[in-house]
Copies of this chain bind each other. A is one copy, B any other.
Amino acid sequence: MNSYKLSEIAAMLQLNYQGATDPVISGAGSVTDAKPGEIVFAEKIEYLENMTGMPAALIVPMDFETDIPAIRCENPRAEFTKVLSYFAVPVDSVIPDGIHPTAVIDPGAIIESDVAIGPFCIIGDGTKIGSGTRLAGHVVIEPNCTIGCNSVFYSHVTIRERTIVGDNVILHSGVVIGSDGFGYHPSATGLVKIPQIGNVVIENDVEIGANSCVDRSTTGTTTVKSGVKLDNLVQIAHNVTVGEHTAISAQSGISGSCSIGKGVVIGGQSGCADHLVVGDGVQIAAKTAVTRDVEAGKTVIGFPEIEIKKGYRIFGLTRRLPELFKRVRDLENLLSKSDKSQE
């Protein structure tokens, strides 16, 4: 890993560092697990109280008091994100420059300059890969795909035919883009496969986690719009649109033909039934089963989904059912006595 003087880090961040000492920083950590030589960030003084280990330096708010050498700034979390990048393993050390001689590249593929292609990749006829894109080993891109610039695909990614992927897209290992949607037509002799002749478009700045799947549409296009982030093991079914900057956590699934808005946040293991419209800025709590359209800006939870404040209230009241049954029994007993006393 790299190391820097604290003053150098401040300069890279275009911030000031004024301290008695200028420690060498050899990594970045967290207040709960800081190792010697690391820089950590803290937004509140309380965070330091639980600190184990002793970091070499802090990134803190302007008015934060501490004896530890510290860079002060308006937004410690955002600055720390930049600092993390100074210590990250550069992608070209994991996916080195050049085209590995074992890659099987169709003569009809168009590979721009500065594309890195790892061992055992397969690139199909008519597929175009933009400048600066890096493919780790074992990436398969079927024919007639268009891949943008400066994207990174890790090992064992599959891109099926006619998929379009934008710039600065990160696909983690095992991702499958453009597999057939799940569509069958019932018949007397069983389920007849509906050919899935559409495709998938992944726009710019998308990141998709390991072993996630985005299915091609029956007709038309399954679209994952710019800036979308999908976690691991996520399922996006055929004919879905996921709006800009939406984030979907692990093991969630979006059923066929859903339209998910912009800036939506979906917790883990959630699901949307098919053909739903989820508005911009919606938040869906983890493990929620969305069964109806959700209006823009709403937050929902539960199975089936309900507005979150109502949901929490109902979760609480459900737990009080033993008490409620007893209270009703008590009322019944009282009335039964009352009835008798009036006889």
Contacts and interface: CB of A to CB of B under 8 A. Distances in A.
Contacts of A213: 174, 209-211, 232-233, 250
Most central of A29, A87, A210, A215 by chain B CB within 10 Å? A210
Given A253-B250, A269-B271, A182 B319 contact: no
A271 B255 contact: no
Interface in A228-270: 229, 231-233, 235, 237, 244-245, 247, 249-251, 253, 255, 268-269
Contacts of A27: 197, 219
Contacts of A132: none
Contacts of A235: 231-233, 250-251, 268
Given A182-B249, A286-B289, A338-B338, A173 B190 contact: no
B195 A81 contact: yes
A11 interface: no
Interface residues of A, number: 113
A251 to B, nearest CB: 5
A125 to B, nearest CB: 8
Given A137-B140, A162-B89, A327-B332, A232 B207 contact: no
Interface stretch (A13-21, A42-50, A65-73, A114-122): A114-122
Contacts of A140: 136-138, 155-156, 173
A28 interface: yes
